[in-house]
């Protein structure tokens, strides 16, 4: 379960202070598929970064499975990202020097999984997202949709409970976007919590619940 | 580890041009150090090898003598020579009467060291190390002959005297004027070089001629050979004591065994090598700066990638070790190339010294120096990479991911 308590984030851009999040209170249950929608600058990516343990709040708190992540060291946060969370980015963010198999195996390497095991599992995960015949391909040799599927396989690498997608379909065509959503729905059916940021109403409609954000606040 | 190495390998290849330049920087630094060390060992070896051949020798001089030159701090007497000969364990003691004289040949004059010695003693002094030059003007065989006891106004000349000093070469039966008297050359000594290069610039006459014609009674060196090398130090001490007693002086005599000469030389060469190494280390410092610069650029370029790796679970130390591994691999490659170029460089220097200066110094490449070279390369690399790698590892994931 993810729970925020008066979560507030303030960025300093030189002289200017930007209130990215203002007193956000939100609860996401295990196994939920939630979409967070809103215009750009509404703070949804900031919220996602907080829930993904990439960033710490300025004030307030965010709990992941009742752990106050604001109190954790950088190393502990890295561990949570590694074990509990799978990230999917709009820009895919694959390592372009590595092929599909190696990209997918990378989080397992950071987790200290043995080479044999991680390569075998990476292969299985690529098959799961329909990329079994792209194992040796570099990201640049694949289409946007395929790259995003590779990124999903990578997100699944350490079998996380939570998948976080920041506009996961934002950079692919509608058809590929639907495939990605199908995969995410499948993962949700496996019991994983899926949190997706989007400003695409159609995508948001496929989630179990949608929260709207504006000016750093969660509406409703 | 396999895929990490492949990640590291691909990162190195990805920035091929820059990696090559970094490797080159290390190669030059390590190569220079290895070349200098190897030539230094060669230098040391060539000189100490000669000295070790003469391990049974004690050189007795008035005051501490500098290598190869006869001291100008007083002299010994025949009484001293007799005293030395009486010391137990002394096999031979030879008196040499050296004095610098004007030598004139075909209108040219040089000041040269003329040494008076008993012809029969020359073997004791030079052993097999000084030979009459092979071949020569008389076509085959030796150039002339050795001095004999009954020679009068005859001399044997060093190689440089024969070929280098005067415009015209001096051969057997040519006549030189030494301090106004004509001497006939009976033999030309073989080229010595190295530690014994002083012999090349000397002229040898009989003791009788030295005393009567050149009016030189003073013994400048007593050359001693001992029966047992193990006793050399002890005998040297006794020689100093006896001669000092004769002259009623303290510390008048210096009796140096070749063993202690070797030690001294080794110390001198050690010092020279340290100085050379210090100078060469500058190239290592430059290499280190090159690495640091390259790594910093690389870290900046890969900010986004670092952010992604952190987002998918990399800890700071994962990032740190990734960058250190990368710089370690690059430096190890540089180190290996440095060894190769160092060895080539050392042999090239050896060849250069031989052709340009006619000095024979074989480069001595020690395996431990090569291993050390690679180790130093990696150490320099990792130390220089530490700051950039730490910088990379400390990046905030959210900012790094956002960085394009």
Residue in A54, A79, A83 closest to B311 by CB: A54
* pLDDT over threshold 60, residue B65: no
pLDDT digits (tens, 9 = 90+) for B162-205: 888 888 888 888 899 988 889 999 888 888 766 677 888 899 99
Residue B251 main-chain phi, psi, to 5 deg: 55, 30
Sort A144 into a burial class: Cβ within 10 Å, 0-12 / 13-18 / 19+. middle
Residues whose CB falls within 8 Å of the CB of residue A11, separated by 6 or more in sequence, listed in order: A17, A18, A20
The answer to whether A78 contacts B398, with C-beta atoms less than 8 Å apart, is: no
Closest by alpha carbon to B383, among B303, B327, B307? B327
The answer to whether A78 contacts B314, with C-beta atoms less than 8 Å apart, is: yes
Min CA distance, B295 vs chain A (Å)?
A: 18
Residue A76, chain B, CB below 8 Å: the answer is no
The answer to whether B7 contacts A95, with C-beta atoms less than 8 Å apart, is: yes
Least confident segment among A61-70, A98-107, B14-23, B194-203? B194-203
How many angstroms separate the CA atoms of B320 and A58, rounded?
28
Chain B interface disruption, residue of A58, A109, A114, most B CBs within 10 A: A109
Domains and CATH numbers, chain A: 2-218 (3.40.50.300)
pLDDT digits (tens, 9 = 90+) for B305-362: 999 999 999 999 999 999 999 999 999 999 999 999 999 999 999 999 888 877 778 8
Q: What is the pLDDT of residue B67?
A: 45
Closest by alpha carbon to B108, among B152, B151, B164? B164
Three-state secondary structure readout of A127-155: HHCCCHHHCCCCHHHCCHHHHHHHHHHHH
Averaged pLDDT, A53-67: 93
Token duo for residue A181 = 């959503």
pLDDT digits (tens, 9 = 90+) for A8-22: 999 888 888 889 999
Residue B402, chain A, CB below 8 Å: the answer is no
The answer to whether A87 contacts B311, with C-beta atoms less than 8 Å apart, is: yes
Averaged pLDDT, B227-250: 86
Residue B314, chain A, CB below 8 Å: the answer is yes
The answer to whether A110 contacts B315, with C-beta atoms less than 8 Å apart, is: yes
The answer to whether B315 contacts A75, with C-beta atoms less than 8 Å apart, is: yes
User: Is residue A86 within a helix (H) or strand (E), and if so which, with residue range?
Assistant: strand A85-88
Angle formed at CA B371 by CA B370 and CA B377, multiple of 5 degrees? 90
Chain A interface disruption, residue of B13, B313, B397, most A CBs within 10 A: B313
Q: What is the mean pLDDT of chain A?
A: 92
Question: Which residue on chain B is closest to A110 by alpha carbon?
Answer: B314
* pLDDT over threshold 60, residue B139: no
Min CA distance, B397 vs chain A (Å)?
A: 6
Residue in B11, B318, B397 closest to A110 by CB: B318
Cβ-based contacts of B14 with chain A (< 8 Å): 97
Helix (H, G, I), strand (E, B) or coil at B140: coil
* pLDDT over threshold 70, residue B66: no
Number of H helices and E strands in chain A, helices first, is 7, 10
Within B54-170, residue ranges assigned H as helices are: 78-86, 122-126, 159-160
CB A203 within 8 A of CB A196: yes
pLDDT confidence bin for A189, thresholds 50/70/90: very high
User: Is residue A23 within a helix (H) or strand (E), and if so which, with residue range?
Assistant: strand A16-28
Cβ-based contacts of A74 with chain B (< 8 Å): 315-316
pLDDT digits (tens, 9 = 90+) for B3-54: 667 778 888 888 888 889 889 989 999 999 899 889 888 888 877 777 777 7
Number of H helices and E strands in chain B, helices first, is 13, 9
Q: What is the pLDDT of residue A176?
A: 93
CB A17 within 8 A of CB A11: yes
How many angstroms separate the CA atoms of B223 and B228, rounded?
15
Residue A113, chain B, CB below 8 Å: the answer is no
Residue A2 main-chain phi, psi, to 5 deg: -115, 130
* pLDDT over threshold 90, residue B253: no
The answer to whether A93 contacts B311, with C-beta atoms less than 8 Å apart, is: yes
DSSP-derived secondary structure for A187-199 = HHHTT-EEEEEES
Question: ipTM score here?
Answer: 0.92
CB B172 within 8 A of CB B136: yes
The answer to whether B308 contacts A95, with C-beta atoms less than 8 Å apart, is: yes
Residues whose CB falls within 8 Å of the CB of residue A103, separated by 6 or more in sequence, listed in order: A94, A95, A139, A150, A154
CB A125 within 8 A of CB A135: no
Sheet hosting strand A16-28, strand order edge to edge? A16-28, A2-13, A59-64, A67-68
Q: What is the pLDDT of residue B69?
A: 47
């Amino acid at each position: 379960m993810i729970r925020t308590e008066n979560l507030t984030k303030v960025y300093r851009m030189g002289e200017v202070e930007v209130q990215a999040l203002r007193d956000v209170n939100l609860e996401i249950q295990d196994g939920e598929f939630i979409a967070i929608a809103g215009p750009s600058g509404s703070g949804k990516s900031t919220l996602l970064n907080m829930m993904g343990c990439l960033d710490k709040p300025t004030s307030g708190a965010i709990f992941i499975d009742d752990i106050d992540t604001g109190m954790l060291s950088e190393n502990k946060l890295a561990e949570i990202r590694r074990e509990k969370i799978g990230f999917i980015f709009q820009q895919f963010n694959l390592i372009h020097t590595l092929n599909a198999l190696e990209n997918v195996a990378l989080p397992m390497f950071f987790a200290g999984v043995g080479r044999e095991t991680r390569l075998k599992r990476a292969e299985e995960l690529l098959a799961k997202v329909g990329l079994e015949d792209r194992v040796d391909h570099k990201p640049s040799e694949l289409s946007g949709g395929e790259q995003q599927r590779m990124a999903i396989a990578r997100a699944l690498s350490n079998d996380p409970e939570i998948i976080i997608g920041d506009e996961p379909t934002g950079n692919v065509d509608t058809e590929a976007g639907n495939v990605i959503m199908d995969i995410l729905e499948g993962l949700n059916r496996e019991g994983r919590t899926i949190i997706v940021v989007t400003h695409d109403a159609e995508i948001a409609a496929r989630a179990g619940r949608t929260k709207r954000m504006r000016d750093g606040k969660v509406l409703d | 580890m396999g895929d990490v190495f492949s990640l590291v390998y691909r990162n190195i290849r990805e920035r091929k041009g820059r990696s090559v330049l970094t490797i080159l920087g290390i190669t030059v630094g390590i190569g220079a150090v290895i070349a200098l060390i190897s030539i230094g060992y060669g230098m040391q070896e060539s000189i100490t090898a000669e000295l070790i051949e003469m391990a049974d020798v004690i050189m007795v001089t008035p005051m501490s003598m500098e290598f190869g030159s006869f001291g100008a701090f007083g002299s010994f007497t025949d009484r001293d020579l007799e005293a030395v000969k009486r010391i137990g364990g002394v096999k031979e003691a030879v008196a040499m009467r050296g004095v610098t004289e004007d030598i004139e040949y075909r209108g040219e004059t040089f000041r040269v060291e003329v040494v008076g010695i008993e012809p029969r003693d020359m073997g004791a002094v030079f052993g097999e190390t000084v030979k009459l030059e092979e071949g020569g003007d008389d076509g085959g065989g030796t150039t002339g002959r050795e001095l004999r006891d009954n020679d009068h106004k005859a001399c044997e000349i060093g190689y440089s005297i024969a070929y280098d000093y005067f415009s015209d070469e001096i051969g057997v039966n040519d006549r030189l004027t030494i301090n106004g008297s004509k001497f006939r050359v009976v033999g030309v000594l073989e080229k010595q070089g190295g530690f014994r290069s002083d012999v090349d610039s000397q002229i040898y006459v009989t003791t009788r001629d030295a005393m009567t014609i050149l009016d030189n009674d003073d013994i400048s060196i007593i050359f001693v050979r001992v029966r047992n090398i193990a006793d050399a130090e002890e005998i040297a001490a006794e020689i100093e004591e006896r001669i000092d007693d004769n002259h009623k002086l303290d510390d008048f005599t210096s009796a140096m065994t070749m063993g202690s000469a070797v030690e001294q030389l080794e110390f001198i060469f050690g010092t020279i090598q340290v100085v050379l190494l210090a100078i060469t280390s500058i190239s290592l410092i430059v290499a280190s700066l090159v690495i640091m610069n390259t790594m910093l650029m690389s870290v900046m370029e890969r900010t986004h990638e670092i952010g992604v790796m952190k987002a998918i679970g990399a800890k700071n130390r994962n990032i740190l070790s990734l960058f250190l591994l990368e710089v370690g691999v690059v430096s190890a490659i540089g180190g290996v190339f440095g060894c190769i170029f160092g060895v080539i460089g050392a042999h090239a220097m050896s060849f250069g010294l031989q052709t340009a200066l006619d000095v024979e110094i074989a480069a001595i490449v020690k395996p431990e120096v090569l291993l050390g070279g690679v180790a130093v390369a990696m150490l320099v690399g990792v130390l220089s990479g530490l700051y950039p790698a730490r910088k990379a590892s400390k990046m905030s994931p959210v900012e790094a991911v956002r960085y394009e």
